[in-house]
Structure 1
Amino acid sequence: MLVTNDLYKKSSKTRKVRCEICANYCKIADGYFGVCRQHKNINGELFDESYGLVSSLSPDPIEKKPLHHFLPRTFTYSIGGFGCNMTCLHCQNYMISQEYDKYSRGIKITPEAIVENALNYNCKSIAWTYNEPTIHLPFNKKTSLLARQKNLKVIYVSNGYFSDKSIVEVLGFVDAFNIDLKSMSSDFYKKVCGADLDVILDNLKRIHTEGKHLEITNLIINDYNDSIDEISELCDFVVNELGPEVPLHFSRAFPYYKMNDISPTKPEILYKAREIAIKKGIKNVHLGNI
């Protein structure tokens, strides 16, 4: 599927293209993919090679996303894709985001079928989840606009690594977000995730300013982002830049992917994180994976 011209730029001198779907802004040579391995330069044009191809389809309790304060006690129709625009060493879904060619098979489906499935399961929303949805922006947008015509809400479970262009697009059709704020350390984002923390922080502020429902998840990893100082800094950001009404989820990490040498997060760290968040004034704090 050819990507629309507003989401990438062509070179006037070479056949390279600059993808502008996410904040990596990949410069892709002819015949190659970007970081997400979903967008390919073919003869100087950018193509979405996985358009309409998903990894999973499932009705889920909305609290599983996790969203605890948006359409509570309803079901959402979850759609997962392939690939990611980050390279997190601790990825919990690496079999579809990083190494899908080894483990996963794709399911071909149309936007119309997704919406029909959601309605048949009596879901009140659809959720783009399991892998980073932004990299499938054209397919997500078409499907989401059809869903909204049928009075379904649209959810993005995302790492927040939107480009300047994609954040505008996404805000136009998404009703609720759960964004992973993985750390308050630029060094952590650079070394562990291959990303820029400032981009995520700016996008979080933009989502909140636009009045979208927002919940934040922080996966706490032993010896990486579990210090009292960092947890306090994250809570301060939520309170001061977003507002104490934004729900915060602290989640327990387990050894996975390239961080299979870590130990599961100590539960007492999560209890301490919740205590800090409540003292900082955050009104709704939840613990996950316990």
Structure 2
Amino acid sequence: MMKESSFYTKLYEGNSSSEKPVKCNLCGRMCKISNEGLGFCNTQKNIDGKLYSLNYHRMASCHTDPIEKKPLYHFLPGSSTYSIGGFGCNFSCLNCQNYMLSMNSYDEFNSTQILPETIVKNAINDNCLSISWTYNEPTLYFDFARETSLISHRENLKNAYVSNGYMSEESLEETVKFIDAFNIDLKFFDDRLYREICGGKLGIVLDNLKIIYEAKNKYGTHLEITTLLINDLNTDEDHIRSICNFILEELGEEVPIHFSRFFPMHKMSDESPTKIDYLLRAKEIAIDMGMEYVYLGNMPADNNTYCPNCGELLIARERYCNSDKNRIKDGHCINCGHKINLIFE
């Protein structure tokens, strides 16, 4: 099943060109695609001068997870989320942990056709409070995700994107209207590394982070950020400070950040796992600079949520499970009254 894409421009007039090229406006790559050609992501195809999404109503993977696994620590804590994803990506990360999905493409055998109503039903049956678009880049699912989200909202289910943040501005302005929470990978604070490791541009991700953050005032959109630390690429103190400075100056100190440990994968399988000391130091720097909520991933760590004002334990976590969430009342620390950036419903 295919659907005509919501974001593309015809680069021809009438039948004046046998190639009938189009420009995909879905993500920051803005691919120019000839007739019968595919975009970089392998999910958008030009068929006789019209762009179609090959992944419409198609999934490759679905699983019920703790919401903290996304990771989203400040959005519906302690709840389950129905995680779905498929094939394709608009990045080409050398260290991709889901490369078997992101670097692959659809065929009639490797995916399942599924209706939005079925996804919503499955989420409800599994006692989930949300649906997470994850595993591969959710930007590529715009039409499917919007349709599913609108149905799920009528059933009081939230929707989350786990994304590289490389949407076009045009598609993101629409996405924030129906996606309730984002965890965005801010992979590096260096445009050269973005180009060499991921095949993208830092500036587009930074601009999109600002759009998502600003959507909080209009739509209540929640944002968390993840940075995967890789030895000697983005682990030096200046790099960590640059990431934190951007968040503090352009977003807000209340935005949770997750520093995650890299493990050898895909085309970086010869690299070593990130040194634990680098992650501990990154957390220390972020807190010292004024970041209110800093967490470490892919390693044993204290990932409880504390009040950034008085230090009161607000949410205790052991792995992904929350054992206590009674220290927040009406969005404020019960001890000192500090406003806590956390969504329970």
TM-score by length of 1: 0.97
Q: Deviation of residue 171 (structure 1)?
A: 0.6
Q: Secondary structure at the match of 1:166?
A: helix
The match for 1:153 is: 158
Distance 1:100 1:75 in 2: 28
Q: Deviation of residue 2 (structure 1)?
A: 3.1
Q: Deviation of residue 105 (structure 1)?
A: 2.2
**Structure ranking higher in helix proportion:** 1
The match for 2:207 is: 202
| 1:206-241 superposed Cα distances (whole Å, 9 cap, x missing partner) | 111111210000000112111111011101111111
Distance 2:136 2:3 in 1: 21
Q: Deviation of residue 80 (structure 1)?
A: 1.0
* Identity between Structure 1 and Structure 2 (%): 51
Are residues 101 and 258 of structure 1, via their aligned partners in 2, closer, same or farther at CA, if it must alter by over 3 Å?
Answer: farther
2:117 matches 1:112: yes
Contact persistence 1:2–1:45 (CA under 8 A): no
The match for 2:3 is: 2
1:219 to 204, 228, 239: 228
4+ aligned runs moved over 3 Å, structure 1: 99-102
Q: Deviation of residue 169 (structure 1)?
A: 1.5
The match for 2:31 is: 26
In the alignment of these two chains, the number of paired residues is 288
2:71 matches 1:66: yes
2:271 matches 1:270: no
Distance 1:100 1:284 in 2: 37
| 1:58-84 superposed Cα distances (whole Å, 9 cap, x missing partner) | 111000000001100000111111100
Q: Secondary structure at the match of 1:210?
A: helix
Contact persistence 1:38–1:49 (CA under 8 A): yes
Contact persistence 2:55–2:106 (CA under 8 A): no
| 1:161-202 superposed Cα distances (whole Å, 9 cap, x missing partner) | 010211011111011110000000000111111111101001
Distance 1:43 1:154 in 2: 34
Task: Show structure 2 runs of 5+ residues with no match.
Answer: 300-345
Q: Deviation of residue 203 (structure 1)?
A: 0.6
Q: Deviation of residue 101 (structure 1)?
A: 6.7
Q: Secondary structure at the match of 1:202?
A: helix
Contact persistence 2:259–2:282 (CA under 8 A): yes
Please give the residue correspondences for 1:1-290 in structure 2 after superposition, counting only pairs within 5 Å.
1-4=2-5, 6-12=6-12, 13-14=16-17, 15-99=20-104, 105-211=110-216, 212-290=221-299
Distance 1:279 1:205 in 2: 23
Distance 1:149 1:173 in 2: 12
Amino acid at match of 1:278: I
Task: Show structure 1 runs of 5+ residues with no match.
Answer: none
Larger radius of gyration: 2
